[in-house]
A and B are shown apart, each in its own frame.
Chain A
């Protein structure tokens, strides 16, 4: 079956630091990959996505590249802000299964001023 593994948190950074949150996956087919962000007390918001190998998703300064050879979709940002503090979820969607999402366990990011 499909699975997603992401680094455990919390990740604590100072403002303007470089961010990497690792995500690897296993899938039987050719999934689409997603990063969602959840701010305290809120639902999940789509941050970025990539639908095929070598695609790069980007949004709000965050980037992630779909690496089929390493089955990875690591999230990066060059300079984090306090407002980026949230929980980040990596997920995959399998077209063969009704596009249901399989999630990683989430990584909490805390950015200090």
Chain B
């Protein structure tokens, strides 16, 4: 258990509305990531953070923004949700110490945009 909590776990929203997903961790991990999972694509990186207020884009960042105002929380925002953003979103953290090259995942947030 890497101490990652995602919220909400399930959400249905309408096209054009803003949505924010929250990732909370309790073990002072520096690196945090947001991935989306879609059939046939595996997981693809949206954004990542390497410290408070330090973020960068991943492979599929268009339509998403992130914020990290404190170590324990990494927020993913869809400014204006579209149906193509219907997906499962996973937060992840980079392990500490001897597990520093290993990524651990949260349980996922299922988002449906109708």
Contacts and interface: CB of A to CB of B under 8 A. Distances in A.
Nearest to B110: A41
A20 interface: no
Interface of B: 31, 33, 40-45, 48, 50, 56, 58, 90, 92, 94, 100-108
A93 B44 contact: no
Contacts of B33: 100
Task: Report, as a range, how many residues of chain A touch the other chain.
Answer: 20 to 34
Interface of A: 4, 32, 34, 36, 42-46, 49, 51, 89, 91, 93, 95, 98-101, 103-106
Given A43-B90, A43-B108, A44-B90, A99 B44 contact: no
Nearest to B40: A105
Interface-central residue, B41, B43, B100, by most chain A CB under 10 Å: B43
